[in-house]
Amino acid sequence: MYATTYHRPGSVAEAATLIGANPEAKVLAGGQTLLPTMKQHLAAPSDLVDIRRIPGMAGVSAAGGVLTIGAATAHADVARNADVLRHAPALACLAAGIGDPAVRHMGTIGGSVANNDPAADYPSAVLALNATVVTNRREIAADAYFKGMFTTALEEGEIITAIRVTPPKRAGYAKFANPASRYALVGVFVAETASGVRVAVTGAGANGVFRHKGLEAALAASFTPEAVDGVKISAEGLLSDIHAAADYRAHLIGVMARRAVAAA
């Protein structure tokens, strides 16, 4: 790891000031991706701004029937939170399947959403649930947030403080995990929300998480596993790598969509 300076600010404002003052600074949210990346010399932030213990950054509230999940809430805490289990059990189930138990104790929802790894689980939930990404500056709708692999609408120095989710009527998530890394080779999150049926696919897109309009239309007509069968899923724009070819991923999207609907 290249030299870096560690900071533990006591407030979001202090964190923002630190990041503003150090253009090469990075937010450390759980570090389960950032620290390994730094060890491999693929990232070399001048400063690390640890936001995990900022008061109020971790925890879930269900005030007004809307779930507000603090950015520093660990996956394990989302997985077993009573409000998440009640209002969006699919999200709890997704969180329970990220990485392994030790990783789930450190990794955070805000970190995952900020990183937008093309094979991460959370981006699919945020997009399918039409969630809102709350930052220290504004609120960003999921449709405007994800901008492609490892790219988001976040500006320099902008820090995610929470993810806000209006509970869906029903939702489900299914992933085909890479047997070695446990990242999603393909993950599909389906949700029946107030704004209609939304289907988001992670792991498969050459440009990161995306919505599948064909599946959305079919499930809007009939929210059943069988409805998936009639949908043609194109391999165009999907990833091909040593783990899976694009046409195999396309096939898996159908299989995972069916399972996700069955689980919803």
- Site residues (CB under 8 A) for other proteins? 1-6, 8, 28, 31-32, 35-36, 39, 48, 50, 52, 76, 80, 99-103, 105-106, 182
Helices in 116-206 by DSSP H: which ranges? 122-128, 142-145
For other proteins, give the closer residue by CB, 3 or 194. 3
For other proteins, give the closer residue by CB, 103 or 263. 103
For other proteins, give the closer residue by CB, 8 or 243. 8
Distance in Å, CB of 35 to other proteins, minimum: 5
Distance in Å, CB of 48 to other proteins, minimum: 8
Distance in Å, CB of 74 to other proteins, minimum: 8
For other proteins, give the closer residue by CB, 103 or 245. 103
What Cα–Cα distance (Å) separates residue 37 from each residue in 45, 117, 184?
A: 11, 12, 19
Distance in Å, CB of 235 to other proteins, minimum: 30
Separation of alpha carbons 211 and 224, rounded Å: 18
Distance in Å, CB of 17 to other proteins, minimum: 19
- Which 3 state secondary structure label does DSSP give 92? helix
- The string over 59-91, giving b where at least 16 C-beta atoms fall within 10 Å of a residue's C-beta and e elsewhere, is ebebeeeebbbbbbbbbbbbbebebbeebbbbb
- Which 3 state secondary structure label does DSSP give 139? strand
Sign of CA dihedral 105, 37, 128, 100: negative
